[in-house]
Structure 1
């Protein structure tokens, strides 16, 4: 099994939600962010969460000892959060970084394992469900230097567009790879067809 650290981006402000969605409770009482973290921890040996400096991990429902990366300029967009995470992981081992979002708790473990199986330093691997590209995206080590320079609110789109030949799409029967939470109504997963 390749060494692949997971990076959960959770330093955003979620303005469309109306409040701090990371703290929103799911049906089981778990916070949205804690549920997303738990799903990643079930598959990845090493998981890091990108937060803002003022965040209290305990208030977000995160367990003690969780690997936290602070992004000083998170307010300037997701690109900054991803760059901060990539810089923090650059010195470590790993063939790829799995970039997950803190508001996607319903990705199936089997989908994560299928993505890991395709990861390599020269590949960008992502799931596809019903012809739609989803999350997470696994960026091979060859792309880490570019991730470290990202800015703005585009996330990694620039890196994706620049390296189409490196794409590896993995078909999954998992609506969870498309389901993020942008409003309180989205706190319940969409049932599978």
Structure 2
């Protein structure tokens, strides 16, 4: 099982790269990558805007970075690029599942990611999503049986489209405060 960490966005509403915002002594991108690495599988970080600065925050971590030139078209293309890169790594060509996550969800930690994997192992559900604020979203784990759906997302669509497609196949893990992210200056002020 591998992880695709989406860190390609331009942070237009924030005005500077949210991936580089420092929270609890670490940038958001490094914090998310370290949580992903706790799962023990390959981790692919998809970069786009500000790719050099964000990549430098991952120095020393055993992650693979992938630059996605069409990042501005939306998350679907970034997700597909990350999945392709993950499947191309020597330790993940036959991956049974992929966990998709963002770098700016403040309540996501290694324990939550492990809970998603444990739910998948215990239920065999094709999709295991985080549940927060009345919705199902990422981080979410997708079994190999739905990889084709992830690969066929249009650029403007995100993983939530696959999660919502067939609700009966989705298991969930509660993520209290899961909607807390860093998109605007107000969100950033709340962190401090």
**TM class by shorter-chain length?**
0.7 to 0.9
Q: Which runs of 5+ in 2 are unaligned?
A: none
Aligned counterparts of 2:108 and 2:133: Cα–Cα separation in 1? 15
Contact 1:96–1:119 under 8 Å retained in 2 = no
Q: Does 1:36 align with 2:32?
A: yes
Q: Does 1:141 align with 2:144?
A: yes
Aligned counterparts of 1:144 and 1:153: Cα–Cα separation in 2? 17
Question: TM-score normalised to the size of structure 2?
Answer: 0.82
Match of 1:6 in 2: 3
Shift of 1:48: 1.1
Contact 1:147–1:156 under 8 Å retained in 2 = yes
Aligned length: 184
SS class of match (1:145) = helix
Match of 2:153 in 1: 150
Match of 1:165 in 2: 168
Distance 1:122 1:53, change over 3 A: same
Match of 1:119 in 2: 120
Q: Which has the larger strand fraction?
A: 2
2:12 to 1, 15, 23: 15
Contact 1:95–1:140 under 8 Å retained in 2 = yes
Cα deviation, 1:35-69, whole Å, max 9, x if unaligned, reads 11122222343211001286115665112353112
Aligned counterparts of 1:55 and 1:140: Cα–Cα separation in 2? 29
Displaced runs of 4 or more, over 3 A = 57-60, 129-132, 187-190
After the TM superposition, which residues 70-109 of structure 1 pair with which residues of structure 2 at under 5 Å, given as runs?
A: 70-91=67-88, 92-109=93-110
Cα deviation, 1:151-176, whole Å, max 9, x if unaligned, reads 2322123322323221112235x42x
Aligned counterparts of 2:58 and 2:76: Cα–Cα separation in 1? 23
Question: TM-score normalised to the size of structure 1?
Answer: 0.81
Contact 1:22–1:60 under 8 Å retained in 2 = no
SS class of match (1:135) = strand
Q: How large is the Cα RMSD of the aligned pairs?
A: 2.5
SS class of match (1:15) = coil
Contact 2:137–2:159 under 8 Å retained in 1 = no
Q: Which has the larger helix fraction?
A: 2
Aligned counterparts of 1:135 and 1:157: Cα–Cα separation in 2? 7
SS class of match (1:154) = coil
